[in-house]
Structure 1
Amino acid sequence: MARLVFILGIALALVASMADAAVVERTFRVGNLTVSRLCESTVINAVNGRLPGPTLDVREGDTVVVHVINDSPYNITIHWHGIFEILTAWADGPNMITQCPIQPGHSYTQKFTITGQEGTLWWHAHASVIRATVYGALIIRPRQGTKGYPFPKPDKEVPILLGEWWNANVVDLANEAFLNGTSLSASDAFTINGKTGDQYPCSKEDTYKLEVEKGKTYLLRIINAALDNQLFFKIAGHRFTVVAVDASYTKPYETDVIVIAPGQTVDALMVADATPARYYMAALAYVSRDNSSNLPFDNTTTTGIVRYKSASPSSQPVMPTMPSFFDNDLAFRFYSSLTGLCRPGDGTVPLHVDEHMFVTVGLNFAACLPSQVNCITQSLAASMNNASFMFPTTMSLLEADYKGVEGVYTDDFPDYPPVFFDFTNASVNSDTALTFTTKSTKVKKVKYNTTVEMVLQNTAIVGIESHPMHIHSFNFFVVAQGFGNYDRATAEKSYNLVDPQERNTVAVPTGGWAVIRFTANNPGMWIMHCHFDSHLLLGLATAFEVENGPTPESTLPPPPPDYPAC
């Protein structure tokens, strides 16, 4: 009888769960849009004629169906950044990893279910550099609504999407950089919710404005959608309480500055407790490389205006005191101070590790490819463990894996670099055995449910900077991070195995390292890459080939009927 009651209870819970869930169906039409910015008119790609694109607002448990129609002149894919694509790898979106691109004039329907996730994520194009303007917020609410928040209910929620802007066609710039064997040029401006702000020419009216009321609390859902810049974000006269990162709750962390890398999200509460007036919100680049390098970067500041409802609309906004572009200490203090909020039922750090990996990440040089017609002798490249990733051209990695097609990739990505050296010492850049890499399409093959620990070690071979490393379909625990060369005997003493932050993108410290752990419990082909798009194009990537599990519930189903062909 007790067993019958138990089963009946489970059945009722499942029925209630299904009743709470919904199917959220949207159409994303990608096409050209003419936009005026910085005194010029530019044609960009945009979704549904908007920049940023539409916000997907869903609840945990919902099934999302998005019909992507490509009316643009470029090949397109859409990636749902941070989503656990449980048995829906065909919908993940990275070009030539899980699918061939959606060609102009074609469409593809991507379907996935939100399982065990709450908070702020986002979606973006994942082909070439088109995500410069093809992106939008993806907000996942608890099933029980705001009652499910583990922090005080805000009076209002506000997406803040930080981006970059180029006056020229960014795809043309990326193609030119490839032909020359160089990297993408610096942007002309930064944006807040698609607007540059009144610090730029011809931009007085192109400024994002947020009206607030004295005493009310605002949940800012901050997303860094920039291609190639980590950012500092502040609001004059106000402080933040960080309550989540990458759709994972954190213990409340108070700060007056948000540091956020491309791909990352930060949920922060802001109380409107200042003297009623107008205040600038501002974002500028965190340039993690050595400031003596003299390499060009976008040194501009984007602004929005926070206006108290009772303030005079003509009053001059107060500007926050912004950090130095090169403030590595501030960035590390922010990133390393975050800890996870442990709630009943949440996942915990795996204490047993099946696969240990030590992976160097950084820039190199490589021989010019035949297609790089303007490249002379050598090309700028990037690598992980000195393997510079080359995207396949005839078939996606996932399709090749599913169909058992050989010759598209190899499963011999190395667990360790070919040689250990003084990784963060810039003087090694004279050693050609270290500075040069070769192109290949190597992936790491792991069995279903394998727990992986990766030490991500920055190198100083060609420059030194912080790399935001992102893995698709999995969150990982950041159990430790530090500067210099990783030393296991010392580092293990600092491992946080109790309440580390959980993320999908980690900014590996400049001239330092980070240790992450995750469990590969979803079959498929999952790219791991630097979320600086210029570094991804240079080869700073690999992929995890996760095998099927022992049951139908852990086996990847076949691709949908409209799966794009190359």
Structure 2
Amino acid sequence: MAMKTYTLFLILLLANVAFANHYHFIVKETSIERLCKSKKILTVNGKFPGPTIYANKGSTLIVHVHNNSKYNITIHWHGVKQPQNPWSDGPEYITQCPIQPGSKFKQKIILSDEEGTIWWHAHNKWARATVHGAIIVYPKPGTSYPFPKPHAEIPIILGEWWKDSVVEVLNEFVGSGGQPKTSDAFMINGQPGDFYPCSKHVNFSASLRSLASKLHPISVPTKVETRLVSTVSVNLLPCPKNDTRACQGPNGTRLSASMNNISFLTPPRYNILEAYYYNRVKGMFGMDFPDFPPYVFNYTDDVLPLELELPKFGTQVKVLKYNTTVELVLQGTNLVTGLDHPMHLHGYNFYVVGWGLGNFDEKSDPKNYNLVDPPRRNNVAVPKNGWIAIRFRADNPGVWTMHCHIERHLTWGMQTVFLVKNGHKPEEHILPPPHHMPPC
């Protein structure tokens, strides 16, 4: 399968140390040999994967991103909430225009309650195939993680590798209207499947428990002010006349994807955050992303009407009042095909209060919600032909996207945007933009 979500695993070593708060990321092409073939790939500081960022909880970091490549680039700090600071979040044409070749951008990374291992990656086109790395957030000096000291610390970064240029793979994929070329290898720490030399003579045991404690309180909303239900679907588009080369989807169609039957169109020359901040919304995007699916049907049935497969296109956002409590049910469908969808929300952590297979039942399923110690995530997999229910409090003003983290699904349009309005106090407002935002 092509372009799956990259995953980071880490066994963390307790430490009471302070780290540098300034980093320089030099984005450039570097010749790398894998699978007995050398090719030029985009890298940060000539490394693949890129450099690891080390930080303490609550730190503020400055990352100077210099684009020395011939391609546009943006960098996203996956799992960092960036309170009041969407300007450095990174998704192309959502919160910023890309850093153009020969340009630079000083990004402020504001850590708040993040702990453990998260990651950074490019957030434009498919550049994250090679532009990515780990962020390891240690406790504040003088504190520790809420588990015993581990035996070792091992970051493991999983990815994919194409023998061909990723740019060529993307262009061929978009032009064909079908599936992308399958990757040639899965990567572990930038290598195609090396084994880690673990000892066979030592047994390790551990127990998993909830982090609902005084140091890690659970604040899942028990009362909900805004309820949303969104389908997540793969769709089909009819073939343009006289262009069968662009219609390599099922039965001569083009593949697409949607949330609530809207296939998201990213603005081509401006970004949503600046349009909102400077009140230039007209003609840029709409504010009427639907609260519920436009059609109610048996979403996971084996046979579904063909007319349901055709999405609408638009740049629609959902507006939320500051500090409102939100429940969002993500419903998988069997349109075209049922698939898992790892959905990522920028700017927030959320609580996964429920999940199930089949269709969500608004009367019976909420009775089984876990409101005591649910998992706290920023990325969650909607199961194939199933549903996930999440809750969060909209207390981070700004423009924050939610999308499937499988690149082909994002390219097809499985994305939306939450526009969280300012509150009444200064600390509830979006921070002023930096003077050096990349121009469009």
For the criterion TM > 0.5, the same-fold answer is yes
- Secondary structure, in 3 states, of the residue corresponding to 1:404? coil
Mapped contact 1:22–1:61 kept (Cα < 8 A)? no
Take 1:212 and 1:99, find their aligned partners in 2: how far apart are those partners? 47
Mapped contact 1:21–1:63 kept (Cα < 8 A)? no
Counterparts of 1:130-169 in structure 2 under 5 Å? 130-144=127-141, 147-169=143-165
Take 1:427 and 1:212, find their aligned partners in 2: how far apart are those partners? 51
Give the drift of 1:374: 4.0
Mapped contact 2:56–2:139 kept (Cα < 8 A)? yes
Mapped contact 2:18–2:55 kept (Cα < 8 A)? no
Mapped contact 2:19–2:54 kept (Cα < 8 A)? no
Take 2:433 and 2:170, find their aligned partners in 1: how far apart are those partners? 31
Take 1:469 and 1:369, find their aligned partners in 2: how far apart are those partners? 30
Give the drift of 1:159: 0.5
- Give the structure 1 partner of residue 231 of structure 2: 360
RMSD: 2.0
- Give the structure 2 partner of residue 532 of structure 1: 406
Give the drift of 1:239: 6.7
Does 1:416 pair with 2:286? no
- Give the structure 1 partner of residue 4 of structure 2: none
Mapped contact 1:23–1:63 kept (Cα < 8 A)? no
Counterparts of 1:324-363 in structure 2 under 5 Å? 340-345=210-215, 346-363=217-234
Take 1:521 and 1:375, find their aligned partners in 2: how far apart are those partners? 43
- Give the structure 1 partner of residue 35 of structure 2: 38
Give the drift of 1:62: 1.1
- Give the structure 2 partner of residue 444 of structure 1: 318
Mapped contact 1:82–1:504 kept (Cα < 8 A)? yes
Give the number of aligned pairs. 417
Take 1:158 and 1:468, find their aligned partners in 2: how far apart are those partners? 24
Counterparts of 1:63-462 in structure 2 under 5 Å? 63-144=60-141, 147-197=143-193, 207=194, 209-210=196-197, 215=202, 241=206, 252-253=207-208, 340-345=210-215, 346-367=217-238, 374-376=245-247, 378-405=253-280, 406-428=282-304, 431-462=305-336
Take 2:347 and 2:18, find their aligned partners in 1: how far apart are those partners? 21
Take 1:240 and 1:446, find their aligned partners in 2: how far apart are those partners? 44
Does 1:468 pair with 2:342? yes
User: Residue type matched to 1:413 in 2?
Assistant: F
Take 2:210 and 2:166, find their aligned partners in 1: how far apart are those partners? 37
Alpha carbons of structure 1 residues 341 and 364: separation in structure 2 relative to 1, 3 Å: same
Give the drift of 1:422: 0.8
Aligned pair partner of 2:415 in 532, 541, 560:
541
Take 2:62 and 2:244, find their aligned partners in 1: how far apart are those partners? 42
Give the drift of 1:378: 3.9
Give the drift of 1:44: 0.9
Give the drift of 1:353: 0.5
Comparing 415-424 with 553-562, greater Cα deviation is found at: 553-562
Gap runs ≥5 in structure 2? 1-16
Give the drift of 1:109: 0.7
Take 1:439 and 1:488, find their aligned partners in 2: how far apart are those partners? 28
User: Residue type matched to 1:438 in 2?
Assistant: K
Q: Which has the larger radius of gyration?
A: 1
Give the drift of 1:352: 1.0
Q: Tell me which protein shows more strand as a share of its residues.
A: 1
Take 2:197 and 2:94, find their aligned partners in 1: how far apart are those partners? 39
- Secondary structure, in 3 states, of the residue corresponding to 2:364? helix
Give the drift of 1:208: 5.6
- Secondary structure, in 3 states, of the residue corresponding to 2:246? coil
- Give the structure 1 partner of residue 5 of structure 2: none
Larger RCO, structures 1/2 (Cα 8 Å, 6+ apart): 2
Deviations 1:523-543 (A, max 9, x none): 111000000011000000000
Deviations 1:160-217 (A, max 9, x none): 00111111111211111111212322211101100113xxxxxxxxx364465965xx
Take 1:126 and 1:367, find their aligned partners in 2: how far apart are those partners? 29
- Secondary structure, in 3 states, of the residue corresponding to 1:427? coil
TM-score by length of 2: 0.91
Does 1:480 pair with 2:354? yes
Mapped contact 1:448–1:547 kept (Cα < 8 A)? yes
- Secondary structure, in 3 states, of the residue corresponding to 1:148? coil
